[in-house]
Amino acid sequence: MSEILSQVRDHTLWITFNRPQARNALTFQMYEGLATLCREVPTDGSVRAVVIHGAGGKAFAAGTDMTQFRAFDKAQDALDYEARIESVLEAVERCPLPTVAAINGACTGGGAAIAGACDIRIATANLKFGFPIARTLGNCLAAANLARLASLMGAGRVREMIFTARLIGAEEAQGCGLITESLEDEDALMARAGELADTLAQMAPLTLRATKEAMRRVSAATRVEDADLIEMCYMSRDFRHGLEAFLNKEKPEWSGT
């Protein structure tokens, strides 16, 4: 069974994260599949919008599949990972068509990063959005990812969200502009996603494309070097300990080393 599905219906490309048994935790194959779909989406008018969502009714995507981190044994592994994720997020941002994240339930870690890179986000009332890494793994977000979040939610809210490892609900997410609409349940969410895609399909494609790219360039202009910070976290004793504690469903004991 494919971990990522795609289907064109009524001028909309529907992309589905398809690991419901793992709350759609993202494998490298899923990341690359998403990037490829966004890069290769047709611009001949046959497709006018993209909707991204998760299968199973419980999660959009619950972050990166953490078992993949066990192979990290040198700083370059961490730098390559963050560069890889940034390449995927840039592919979503650079997609020439408008993208809608239809978020049902949990949207954390890499899933939250992907949603943040989309143009429009709508969610169910049971949304749980965030990056609980200060409680779980002890790693960090790349500066470019933080910049995206700050542009959506404000720098102060991003700091507080990550520092406290809390997850944001639908009411707060809508209040701060992270999502534009909160829907009652998954059926209502998917129906609204289809309606929104139909609306976008009627708009001037070049206007949407120019707006997307201009806003991406503004965001990219503020990005900074962060390799030293990534290495500090991913190569730490705390990260290795936090990873194993999480996978074994234990509470980590942080040492700051």
Average pLDDT, integer, range 149-161: 95
**Tokens encoding 119:** 């143009």
Q: Model confidence at 72, in pLDDT bands (50, 70, 90)?
A: confident
Q: Per DSSP, what are the bridge partners of residue 59? A: 106
pLDDT attached to residue 70: 86
The Cα–Cα gap between 170 and 82 comes to: 28
Kindly give, in sequence order, each residue whose CB lies less than 8 Å from that of residue 197, ignoring residues fewer than 6 positions away.
10, 11, 12, 48, 49, 50, 51, 100
The Cα–Cα gap between 35 and 8 comes to: 17
pLDDT attached to residue 222: 72
Domains with residue ranges and CATH for the chain? 4-201 (3.90.226.10)
Of 85, 182, 90, 66, nearest to 128 (Cα)?
A: 182
The Cα–Cα gap between 25 and 5 comes to: 14
Any idea what DSSP says for residue 45?
S
Q: Per DSSP, what are the bridge partners of residue 250? A: none
The sign of the dihedral angle between the CA atoms of 189, 197, 98, 52 is: positive
Asked if residues 60 and 106 have their Cβ atoms less than 8 Å apart, the reply is yes
**Tokens encoding 235:** 């190569």
Average pLDDT, integer, range 72-82: 91
pLDDT attached to residue 69: 86
Burial level of 141, CB count in 10 A (0-12/13-18/19+)?
buried
Task: Categorise residue 244: left if φ over 0, alpha if ψ from -120 to 50, beta otherwise.
Answer: alpha
Supply the pTM of this predicted model: 0.96
SS3 77: helix
What confidence tens digit (pLDDT) does each residue in 185-244 have? Answer: 999 999 999 999 999 999 999 999 999 999 988 887 777 889 999 999 999 999 999 999
The alpha carbon torsion through 109, 113, 114, 120 (nearest 10 deg) reads 130
The Cα–Cα gap between 224 and 91 comes to: 19
**In the chain, pLDDT over 70 holds for what percent of residues?**
100
Q: Model confidence at 135, in pLDDT bands (50, 70, 90)?
A: very high
